[in-house]
Amino acid sequence: MTSPQHQAIEDNELLRRYLDGDTEAFAALMNRYQRELFNFLARFTGDAILAEDIFQETFLQLHLSAATFDTTKRLKPWLFTIAANKARDAMRSRMRRRTAALDATVAGSHDEATTYADLMPANIPSPDESALNLEDRQAVRKIIEEMPENLRLVLLLSYFNELPYKEIAETLGVPLGTVKSRLHAAIRWFALRWKTLAEKHK
């Protein structure tokens, strides 16, 4: 269990202490991001078991690369960069295995204050799963899982993880304008799918 004295320490200082031999500092970082990072990975991959594995791999990579981290920057975007990259790799690997199995069978900003709710059409609900019934929550998860990867990543980081645009740009290694355009595209994508789904159930 993380000691109270570690809970109030900033991320970069915890990492520095870990490099100086304080193993509890690393445990404090894992504990601090366990829920947030796991939820991001679970939504991104659609697989809780895979998300748990990637979470562990992310912190293993943090352990291995800690000495190379630029302490003038914030740790959180770097951590999410590692997690997102490992999630992409895991999903591509899983897709290749599925493809191989099929082949074997057949052939043998300035506006950073803008919120998701501000951008959504008035008749489309926000994908806040806690405020929806079970059927709607399942529909939201399905829509997000089917969203193109580049749009899904921006939506999850912005809406669910509440990272500012600048940190999302840093995490994904893309320009700020790209983050904004992808977020708008993700919202349009979600809204269109939700509207289609709603019309089917009228």
Highest CATH level, class, for 1-108: mainly alpha
pLDDT number for residue 113: 46
Amino acid at 181: S
Q: Higher-confidence residue: 145 or 198? A: 145
Q: Where in the chain is the domain with CATH 1.10.10.10?
A: 110-202
pLDDT number for residue 126: 53
Buried b (16+ CB within 10 A) or exposed e, 90-124: bbeeeeeeeeeeeeeeeeeeeeeeeebeeebeeee
Q: Where in the chain is the domain with CATH 1.10.1740.10?
A: 1-108
Taking only the tens place, the pLDDT of each residue in 114-161 is 444 444 444 455 555 544 566 777 788 888 888 999 999 998 888 888
pLDDT number for residue 59: 94
CATH numeric code, 110-202: 1.10.10.10
How big is the CA angle at 169 (ends 56 and 115), to the nearest 5 degrees? Answer: 100
Amino acid at 165: Y
Q: What percent of the chain has pLDDT over 90?
A: 38
